[in-house]
A and B are shown apart, each in its own frame.
Chain A
Amino acid sequence: MLKILKYSFYDLIRSRWSYVYLLFYLALGFVLLFLNNDLSKAVITLMNVIIILVPLIGTIFGVMYYYNSKEFTELLLAQPIKRSSIFLGQYLGVALSLSMSLIIGLGLPFTMYGLFQSNTIWEFLLLLITGTFLTLIFTALAFNIALYNENKIKGFSYAILFWLFMAVIYDGLFLMSLIMFESYPLDKFSIGVTLFNPIDLSRILILLKLDISALLGYTGAVFQKFFGTNLGVILSCIALSIWVFLPTFNIYRKSKKKDF
């Protein structure tokens, strides 16, 4: 598995797209810090970008890589290598190279602007961690979608639809349900619903570390407990890990049975 991981990783690192992705983050980081030197404000702005963009790139890259390397995968399958190691290796190769672009692309400008001397380092680290989590989750989900769909176009459209659902439509449905059931106690429900969407989850996780969390605690005792203590951070980290684990496990399970 490690060999395949290494192969996909190097393959992707040499490809044009990961350079573009890396350069994009470098440019974003430098421009943001150039426009205002305030690291903490830059972190907030980056949060908005990361939460939408990272899942999108993760999904599209994952699907694209799977379909593009399909012939190579078939070649590998003819060799005496375990199936799970082929697919998991490829998945980790994509996810790790994307996360590396993210970490280097954002880490470099921030370190140059004096991250280590400032007190926003924990918030920035949290940003990178959630970014990495999101990459892992959405690449895994993209691989799942690709494994279930032989047809390229179908796979692509499902992947994009899935991203759209998670990033926008889910929140819309969530909001509607909250307004419809407004006469019921909703705080536990709303925290529960948040845990089912990794994008919402990482948004909350980052908000928790910013000052605005007091604003969120305003509404009731359950929110107060969730947002005011470390419980929120721990719970959302656990939920994110489950989100990584389940799709990865499904790749493993599905790739064992799939016909080629």
Chain B
Amino acid sequence: MFSNNDLYENNTFENNGAGVAVMFSKKIKMLTNTFKENWGTASYGLLLKEINDAEITGNIFKENTIGINIEGSNRIRYTKNSFIKNGWAIKVRGACYTNIFSNNNFMYNSFDVSYNSKLNDNKFDKNYWSGYTGYDLDKDGIGDVPYRPVKLFSYIVNRTPETIILMRSLFIDMIDFSEKVSPVFTPDNLLDNYPLMKSKND
């Protein structure tokens, strides 16, 4: 907290009861860290609160209940991170503006991105999403149909947490699908317009 211009590099944060919390700081750099198996009811990989102009690059978030919990953080660049098998990959709690997520891998997370409002000012570009079902006709490696990372179910769970008991039921899949076709509750400008067809696994 209250410590600017920090650099976190090559650390591994594993099996924590809570997770790594970074708050009220500017110009932080986080490079190639690994956050994994912070798997409990109140655990997260990384918690950001009031962080501005930071850069989070090349980190691996694996099997955390929440990969990154973001609140009141602006102008952060998330690039080349991998979010693998998390409960929530990214949970946006509000007041987060002009963040950029690009070239990340989102693989097999229960929820990719969760928002608690309809307002969105963050950019998602050129990420790989394992839940992407579109096609690539011109074979340039970028899907032709935009991907919507926020599912209706994650919106519902945010509003009424108890509904999580319905996870993976057929009805939920159906309403998720209909929301995907015509978004009503989730932010309609929250899209990845250039989803990658293949993960950046190198």
A contacts, CB < 8 Å to B: 47-48, 51-52, 167-169, 171-172, 174-175, 178-179, 182, 186-187, 189-191, 194, 200, 203-204, 207, 211-212, 214-220, 223-224, 228
Chain B residues with CB below 8 A from A200, complex form: 166, 169
Contact: A212 with B110, CB < 8 Å? yes
Question: B41 and A203: CB pair below 8 A?
Answer: no
Interchain residue pairs A-B with the least CB separation, the first 5:
A171-B171, A219-B161, A186-B162, A215-B87, A182-B160
Say yes or no: A174-B166 contact (C-beta < 8 A), given A179-B159, A211-B63: yes
Closest B residue by C-beta to A181: B160
A-B contact count, CB below 8 Å?
A: 81
22 CB-based A-B contacts, threshold 8 Å: A48-B168, A52-B170, A172-B171, A174-B166, A175-B172, A178-B160, A178-B163, A179-B159, A187-B162, A190-B165, A200-B166, A214-B40, A214-B41, A215-B87, A215-B164, A216-B165, A218-B87, A218-B161, A218-B164, A219-B161, A220-B161, A223-B165
Which of chain A's residues have a CB closer than 8 A to the CB of B110?
Answer: 212, 215
A-facing residues in B139-177 (Cβ within 8 Å): 156, 159-172, 174
Say how far A48's CB is from chain B's closest CB, in angstroms. 7
Tell me if B101 counts as interface (CB < 8 A to partner A).
no
Give the distance in Å from the alpha carbon of A257 to the alpha carbon of B156 in the complex: 48
**Chain B residues, Cβ within 8 Å of A169:** 171
A167 neighbours in B (Cβ, 8 Å): 170
A171 touches B166 (CB 8 A): yes
A203 B65 Cβ-Cβ under 8 A: no
Q: What residues of A have a CB within 8 angstroms of the CB of B41 in the complex?
A: 214, 217-218, 224, 228
- The secondary structure that dominates the A interface is helix
Q: Are B168 and A179 in contact (CB under 8 A)?
A: no
The distance in angstroms between the C-alpha atoms of A216 and B156, with both chains bound, is 14
CA distance A126 to B4 in the complex (A): 52
Is the beta-carbon distance between B164 and A216 smaller than 8 angstroms? yes
Q: Which residues of B contact A212 (CB under 8 A)?
A: 87, 110, 167
| Residue from the list A47, A171, A186, A187 in contact with B172, Cβ < 8 A | A171
Tell me if B39 counts as interface (CB < 8 A to partner A): yes
Given A203-B169, A212-B167, A214-B40, the answer on whether A175 and B161 have CB atoms closer than 8 Å is no
B42 at interface, CB cutoff 8 A: yes
B residues within 8 Å of A by Cβ?
Answer: 39-42, 63, 65, 85, 87, 110, 156, 159-172, 174
Complex formed: what's the CA distance from A110 to B63 in Å?
Answer: 26
**Which chain B residue lies CB-closest to A213?**
B41
Q: Which residue of A lies closest to B172 (CB)?
A: A171
12 A-B pairs besides A212-B167, A215-B65, A219-B161 with CB distance below 8 A are A167-B170, A179-B159, A179-B163, A182-B159, A186-B162, A211-B85, A212-B87, A212-B110, A214-B39, A215-B87, A219-B162, A220-B161
Min distance, Cβ B11 to any Cβ of chain A, angstroms = 23
A204 and B165 form a contact (CB under 8 A): yes
Taken together as a complex, chains A and B put the C-alpha atoms of A167 and B168 apart, in Å, by 12
Q: Is the CB of B160 within 8 A of A186?
A: yes
List the A side residues contacting B156 at CB < 8 Å.
175, 179
Chain B residues with CB below 8 A from A194, complex form: 165
Q: Once the chains are docked, how many angstroms separate the CA of A223 from the CA of B164?
A: 10
- Residues on A with C-beta less than 8 A from B164 are 215-216, 218-219
A residues within 8 A CB of B163?
A: 175, 178-179, 190
- Nearest-neighbour CB distance to chain A for B93, whole angstroms, equals 15
Q: How far in angstroms is the closest Cβ of chain B from A58?
A: 16
**A210: nearest residue on chain B (CB-CB)?**
B168
Pairwise interchain contact A178-B87, C-beta atoms closer than 8 A:
no
CB distance from A68 to the nearest CB of B (A): 29
Contact A215 to B166, CB < 8 A, known contacts A182-B160, A220-B161: no
Give the Cβ gap from A153 to chain B, nearest Cβ, in Å: 26
A174 to B156, CA, bound (A): 13
The winner among B162, B166, B172 for most chain A CB atoms within 10 A is B162
